[in-house]
A and B are shown apart, each in its own frame.
Chain A
Amino acid sequence: MKILIKDGQLIDPSQEINEVRNLLLSDGKINGYPSDTKELEMDSSVQVIDASGKVVSPGFIDLHVHLREPGFEHKETIRTGCLAAAAGGFTSVVCMPNTNPVNDNASVTEYILLKARTEGVVNVFPVGAITKGQKGQALAEIGEMREAGCVAISDDGRPVMNSRVMRHAMEYAKAFELPVISHAEDLNLSSDGVMNDGFTSTILGLRGIPNASEEIIVARDITLGELTGTHLHIAHVSTAGAVRLIRDAKKRGVKVTGEATPHHFTLNDKAVLNYDTSTKVNPPIRSREDMEAIREGLKDGVLDIIATDHAPHTEDEKKVEFDLAPFGISGLETALPLALRLVEDRILTLTELIRKLTFNPAQIIIRSNRGTLKPGAPADVVIFDPNKTVKVDRDKFFSKGRNTPFHGWRLSGQILYTIVGGEIVFSA
């Protein structure tokens, strides 16, 4: 099975390519860039895709999704989550361990990978829990999870509050060369907060989560990163202070990377003003100044990657009092058009943007030859039209989670084809 993608604008930041080139995929791998395609086009076993005027790039990699399976299949399954990923142009997703049971041992990891192989349409890379049951006390069997296929460990959703436990986790992870992904939140300071602490929360009478809640733990984990030398990845950075802490740490040579989500670089907390629970997310959507700082962090490279923190919930779960609604935004299917606004706003070039969606995440967590179009690499490719206007319609999502604050938005950027291992898994 061969696919020839003709005349597309090929953008591959891993090789600094940005030009019109043909791309040939065969046997699930990137084959090369044939300039003469006459013979291939005559061959009936070659599928030809005309990509003229479109962008062809490595498939996107999302380092932060919640697939909800096992345990919360009413919100999402590995199958629906993978379909949503494919529709969003993602060929690989990294899934967080806060399932039920928690992914804190090899058997859960194996279950997830088995499900992904049989039902999923994109590559799934599980993240293991730091502590058993995500309780923040005893270390999980990190080595066995690594053997079973976990690519990182994280406390996402239920942060480790005990600094000694976090220190040991980071030390221990070094033996298995696993990065530690930190959900930076001081739970005592967040208390029962439901949105950003500031003017808007004052007006709405909602309990606030202060920026300090994130920054204290970012500072702690950077300090522990310096102590242990373990690669630390800060998930969903939401505050200006956190960007500053990561910037300073990078300057000192600490092994730390940072991620930003589309909702944090697109919205500010005024979006919450009518108590729309689809804007309820953790960390919360912050002030305009914080949003600008995230954009600045993406621009100057402090924030290495863009990830969605795709967190699907059902409509019934979200159609309740703001205090009762679960945190989370269904993000896979709106990521590209929201990210393209960074290009429109001249924060990033298209190449820089694609790097943060492909090569950087591959380097940081997956550490294999993905996120690139080098010959021999897996044929994970996305073709998109950056200029086509789309109207976000949550009712057309592949994800079970329709919880998006972007419903009805008109945005530019449409995914045309998503190809995983040489197979077309999504076409518009």
Chain B
Amino acid sequence: MDSETITRALSRIAHEILERNKGAKELRIIGIRTRGIHIARRLADKIQELEGIKPPLGTLDITLYRDDFRRKTDWPSVQKTEIAFSVEEKNVILVDDVLYTGRTTRAAIDAIMDYGRPDFIQLAVLVDRGGHRELPIQADYVGTRVMTVRTQKVEVLIKELDGRDEVIILQLGSPNEAR
């Protein structure tokens, strides 16, 4: 995916979100650290452009909810979660860059539930890596679907962090490096 296809995909997802949730009024958008935050912000901007309402935007760090606590390898430090609004009876759109095993999403759902009881939680991802799901989780909005093997890695580059927008698939040297 290049910059143009990414922008087009996000624009389509914004339309789909508005259609399904009947407007932007009850929407709360929460990006999962790190790259999901930037994708979430772009979606919020697009929704504002389309509807004239900017849905409240939050960021979520799922480190404290991970299930591989005692299998740590390169353990990330805990970052701040900032959700400055109530999720009670709202339509929460969780945003991440890649959906792969589903474990991050599980952790994120658990985290959101600790903030209250939303009416809906929906999942938007830029890339859905099929075939490797470890939990019964699926995305509601998908930028693109790719079929990969475990020895490959999907990398999402974001202008805000990496200087350009691109999705690339890397072949890893050894299967052990696969995440």
- Say if the two chains contact directly (CB < 8 Å): no
Interface residues of A, Cβ cutoff 8 Å to B: none
Interface residues of B, Cβ cutoff 8 Å to A: none
